[in-house]
Amino acid sequence: MKKLGFNPYLPSWEYIPDGEPYVFGDRVYIYGSHDFFNGYVFCMGDYVCWSAPVDNLADWRYEGVIYPRNEDPMNKDGSMCLYAPDVTVGPDGRYYLYYVLDHLDIVAVAVCDTPAGRYQFHGHVHYPDGTLYGRKAGDEPQFDPGVLTEGDTTYLYTGFCGRGDKSRHGAMMVELEKDMLTIRGDMRFVAPGVEYAGGTGFEGHAFFEAPSIRKHGDTYYFVYSSTPMHELCYATSKSPREGFQYGGVIVSNCDLHIGDEPTLPKAYGGNNHGSIVEINGQWYIFYHRQTNGTWYSRQGCLEPIEILPDGSIPQVEMTSCGPNGGPLPGKGEYPAYIACHIFDEKRQFMSGAPGHAYVTQDGKDGDEIPGHIAQIHDGTTIGFKYFDFEDVNKITLMVRGYAYGGKFQIKTEKYGEVLAEIPLHNTNIWTAFSAPIQLPKGKHPLYITFLGGGNPMLKSVIFE
């Protein structure tokens, strides 16, 4: 039987944010940075790769480590972290990995003969005189490389623009020679940072970080994280060099600007990074979410998107079923970690806010233990989108922890009718709590709200 596709699309014990997806042959490959469970900074791991058949985005395969962080000659002691990378196929048919180490302001490149083999250090991006890009007088620091190769030319986009920093102007672009290292021509700014966005059309959604470039038809799509951080936005142009116009938000990992409460967060978000890709005739946005109550244990998610005839991309909502191609069957057991909405009455925006519920796991980083939701408290709502219900007569929640006489309420609308109540008692092991229910047939979300004292944990939901 074909696997069901969930968000996050990789196993719940894997933490690969900043996803750059590419189709090579009959598989889609995901390249990103590598967070740890319970990590204390961003990007603590080596670069690894996962891939899936283009016709089944639920069947991901671990390809292994493709580039250890001490492979870079400037990082032999492994003291620096590998920040978000990107990959392109060069004119010679080889695969080139572009990256920046966390304490450096230059772009490094590694190369491999295959998409997911062991990459070898190739060099640093530099000017014709050998000066490293980022070190020439007047250069701005390099960050988050995004790359696109057409013919013998590779376009390299970089940048980071924080609020209040007028020394950084926006997203930068340079062209590279066939050697994939040497700059040809001058640097150009393609999207403004927040301090220079006035009068540009980018106001409110100025470039922050995470530049990524894709092409559809004759249009170039510049995907990036905006100043609010939780958004992935896009700008379009008919040229990769200039003329980009702001297009809109593709996805928000707070789920802002969309749905029945467009100004309220439905999840605890944070920074965002990803891109768009066409897989088997369908376009998708890859992005990431925060887990573990911090910004340092991020997981990749994906949603199908639509590119309209005018080139625009309507914003899509976060879901639990993005990789599935439709709602999940409303029968059987589903892990709680696929919840796309977690919020309480305070409606806080950012992961790390005091006291909020979050996805986490038992064990230590690398332990293949399915995730669960912890620190659930009075007023916490957990939402899943979407299920296709048919003849569901019973619902069971796998719960542990102290609940102080609390209960879970089950609904298919955030503020709708309560369809079942499930009283809890204190338990230090995963315990089944059930109630009869009549869920409406067809495609619906599911919302679970906890009322009462204590901080129970939720492992899974079972429909019968």
β 183-192/442-451 pair status: unpaired
Cα(308)–Cα(305) distance, integer angstroms: 10
Residue with tokens 């590119």: 307
Q: Are 406 and 454 in contact (CB under 8 A)?
A: yes
Strand partners, 384: 446
Q: How far from 145 is each of 108, 110, 159, 397, CA to CA, in Å?
A: 9, 13, 8, 44
The catalytic site residues sit at 18, 209
C-alpha 227 chain-centroid distance: 16
Q: Residue 200, SS3?
A: coil
Q: Are 222 and 209 in contact (CB under 8 A)?
A: no
Which residues lie closer than 8 Å to 171 by C-beta, 6 or more apart? 157, 158, 159, 161, 189, 190, 191, 193, 207, 211, 222, 224
Q: Residue 322, SS3?
A: helix
Cα(404)–Cα(424) distance, integer angstroms: 8
Nearest 10 degrees: CA dihedral of 348, 352, 356, 358?
Answer: 120
